Amino acid sequence: MTQTIPYWHVDAFAARPFGGNQAAVMVLEEWLPDDVLVQIGGENLFAETAFVVRDASGEADWELRWCTPTYEIALCGHATLASGHILLTRDGGERVTFRTRKSGILEVVKAGEAYELALPAIATEADSAANQAEAIRLLGAQPLEIARSPLGYNIYLFENEAAIRAMTPDIRGLETLGQDQFIITAPGDATDIVSRVFVPGGGVDEDSVTGSAHAVLTPYWANRLGRSSFTAHQASQRGGDLTLRLDGSKAWLGGPCVTVVEGSFYL
């Protein structure tokens, strides 16, 4: 028997269609087998598909999981923002919480015409060019400094936005280095910071707007800038603008969302 699953296509961190980062949001009655979730992610072919199920534990409103086209991931920001947008639009309210398997309780709150998403702030430590020699070679430019989280996030600092926009990494080479995120960043022109993010080992050559990367960039740049709130732009082809705020152990990412498709997924 065919199962009908409510489905939405959302442009997250975008004020109008065709910007920000695309995510599918799917509301399930119960969890499907893990391999089916990944297959659905492959069928949708977005950087991430978010799946939500009502949380029976009482810890949060919903359970939340995310799949790329090739595997399930531990944290995704833009698809969480998209999920909050859909559920708050559909059900009303000002706040929705999500229980995740590896990233704790996440929440999305309304902020005027946009939303704010709380993610765990991810700390990094300085790394050496020697340790990152192959990644630097594949990026094709020498960074001013490097930082890394053992969770698989790599930050490469460059002088200015022009350097970020001009870079043409060897994507297929980066793909061989595993499922890490490779984040290049610099002071921005129109925003405080700018970045681009490559995750080819996870099936996403260059991500459009990456929430999890900004959970790493928020504490990194808060320390460099000497303040807890600032603006960001991810300089992908689609592009996206965010507000960033460090509040203790949380990184708050702000931005609007646009629903571009609503329908049914038949399984």
Residues labelled as active-site residues: 48
* 51-247-159-231 Cα dihedral, nearest 10 degrees: 70
User: Which 3 state secondary structure label does DSSP give 234?
Assistant: strand
| 200 DSSP 8-state letter | G
Partners of 66 in beta bridges: 50, 73
* E strand or H helix that includes residue 36: helix 34-44
Burial of 126 (0-12, 13-18, 19+ CB in 10 A): exposed
Q: CB-hemisphere CA count at 13 Å for 15?
A: 7
The answer to whether the beta carbons of residues 67 and 73 sit under 8 Å apart is yes
Burial of 122 (0-12, 13-18, 19+ CB in 10 A): buried
**3-state class (DSSP) for residue 68:** coil
- C-alpha–C-alpha distance, residues 78 and 110, integer Å: 15
